[in-house]
Amino acid sequence: MNILVTGATGFVGKAVLAQLAADPCGRLRAAVRRPTPTMPTGVQSAVVGDLASDTDWSQAVAGVDVVVHAAARVHVMRETAADPLAEFRRANVDGTLALARQAADAGVRRLVFVSSVKVNGEETSPGKPFTGMDAPQPVDPYGVSKLEAELGLQQLGAASGMEIVVVRPALVYGPAVRGNFLTLLQWVQRGLPLPLGGIRNQRSFIALDNLVSLILLCAAHPSAAGRIFLAADGEDLSTPELILRLGRAMNKRVRLFSIPTGALHGMASLLGRSSTSQRLCGWLQVDNSHARELLNWSTVVSVDDALANTARHFVRTAHR
């Protein structure tokens, strides 16, 4: 099976590429924006430039059976674009559909699209996790763009016969993680007293290794065609529990104290960080049973081991 991985230097794409290169089953090609000397042995590079409506994918998709599409304009913590939705659409919708059309024309059999649980929404009610059958309710421009890309891919797949598989991960963590998870690691490393001890939520996450295993299964399993899979470790954690486990993994004392959740939200609002307080305090649970039952998928690393791997990498590289 010949596979093209887009976003091959990104957090998820790089891990997918490394796993495929470690156990090759055909020709492996990596789509990159610019030439890079760090590709694994045996991997062909295809320089395609930015992800946009006019990107030329012809050389990248030639002779390919499956595309794993991990390239995207990702969620931006401090957005500077005047029209964020337009920027997300340019890459995540127009760029994705340009790739899919050219892939279908080249005879690609399947495209695995790495989407986001943000398509479902930003939070769940306690004990009512998101499933692939729920009506999408994206809130931010990133989630909206991912939903629009999913819908466009499904239409294109129906018209062309190319199989579309959608994977919606919960928050992904692992070595070299960025974003909010990195912020938590930094808080723990500094030993800061944190007013988060009274939070009683549950949130789903997925370790990078577990996500890669599901993506690769979706690339090959006959029953994956046309399906949407939500990806999570299967063990949900409260925010205080996550911080305590990171502290244990980093051999750091964690200092938590409690203040009312309403006060947390109020302080965050005054600081312009309402979305941060929502993620720290809110519920977001993901039901991964569809992948487990239909594909016989199971996680390859435990939550504790994955958190330990993430923490060890952070400690090793924090002062570089």
For the stretch 123-160, pLDDT in tens is: 999 989 999 899 999 999 999 999 999 999 999 999 99
For the stretch 40-65, pLDDT in tens is: 888 899 999 999 999 999 999 999 99
In a domain, 43, yes or no: yes
In a domain, 172, yes or no: yes
Range of the domain at 65: 3-177+205-234+285-300
Cβ-Cβ contacts under 8 Å for 105 (sequence gap 6 or more): none
Cα distance between residue 240 and residue 297, in whole Å: 29
Contact between 72 and 92 under an 8 Å Cβ cutoff? The reply is: yes
Contact between 88 and 73 under an 8 Å Cβ cutoff? The reply is: yes
Express as a percent the part of the chain with pLDDT over 70: 95
Q: Confidence class of residue 320 from pLDDT cuts 50, 70 and 90?
A: low
In a domain, 224, yes or no: yes
The average pLDDT across 228-245 equals: 96
In a domain, 307, yes or no: no
In a domain, 258, yes or no: no
Give the count of domains, the chain. Answer: 1
In a domain, 240, yes or no: no
Instruction: Say what the pTM is.
Output: 0.94
Residue 145: what residue type?
S
Cα distance between residue 69 and residue 187, in whole Å: 33
Q: Confidence class of residue 37 from pLDDT cuts 50, 70 and 90?
A: confident
Which DSSP string corresponds to the chain? --EEEESTTSHHHHHHHHHHHHS--S-EEEEESS--S-PPTTEEEEE--SSSTT---HHHHTT-SEEEE-------SS---SSHHHHHIIIIIIIHHHHHHHHHHTT--EEEEE--GGGT-S--BTTB-B-TTSPP---SHHHHHHHHHHHHHHHHHHHH--EEEEEEESEEE-TT--HHHHHHHHHHHHT--BTBTT----B-EEEHHHHHHHHHHHHH-GGGTT-EEEE--S--B-HHHHHHHHHHHHT----B-B--HHHHHHHHHHTT-HHHHHHHHS-B-B--HHHHHHH----SS-HHHHHHHHHHHHHHHTT-
In a domain, 186, yes or no: no
pLDDT for 125? 94
In a domain, 320, yes or no: no
Can you give the CATH number for the domain in which 19 is found? Answer: 3.40.50.720
The average pLDDT across 101-113 equals: 98
Catalytic residues: 142
Q: Confidence class of residue 72 from pLDDT cuts 50, 70 and 90?
A: very high
